[in-house]
Amino acid sequence: QVQLQESGPGLVKPSQTLSLTCTVSGDSIGSGGYYWSWIRQHPGKGLEWIGYIYYSGSTSYNPSLKSRVTISVDTSKNQLSLRLSSVTAADTAVYYCARGLLRWDYWGQGTLVTVSS
């Protein structure tokens, strides 16, 4: 059973960097079988793809966030990470990690990150 679990601060101050980690169990990121993604959902709103990473470190980002986003992977810990810099209130959202590139078949439960001073 593949499981993903997001973790990180639930509150980030404006202009700071949001950092989240996703720990994967039941599958190995390093096996190279899948891409791994971050997706967010603003409160009461729709879904927004942030970006994805392959075990090799190859990444692709949503052009609207590209200048502020970094996704990385640690295959030894079976984790992927998200960093979003210079956050504003508009970055307040539930952040999900998910397995996949073109469609996402396993998701974490999501973690709410609020940007506020």
Partner 1 sequence: DIQMTQSPSSLSASVGDRVTITCQASQDINNYLNWYQQKPGKAPKVLIYDASNLERGVPSRFSGSGSGTDFTFTISSLQPEDIATYYCQQYDNLPSVTFGQGTRLEIK
Binding site for partner 1 (CB under 8 A): 46-49, 51, 60-63, 96, 98, 102-105, 107-110
Minimum Å gap between C-beta 66 and partner 1 is 9
Q: Are strands 111-115 and 11-12 parallel, antiparallel or unpaired?
A: parallel
Q: Which is nearer to partner 1, 16 or 106 (CB)?
A: 106
Give the number of residues written for the chain: 117
Cβ density class 46-77: b for 16+ within 10 Å, e for less: eeebbbbbebeeebebeeebeebbbbebeeee
Q: Which is nearer to partner 1, 90 or 102 (CB)?
A: 102
Minimum Å gap between C-beta 53 and partner 1 is 12
The alpha carbons of the chain give a radius of gyration, in whole angstroms, of 13
Q: Which is nearer to partner 1, 13 or 101 (CB)?
A: 101
Minimum Å gap between C-beta 94 and partner 1 is 9
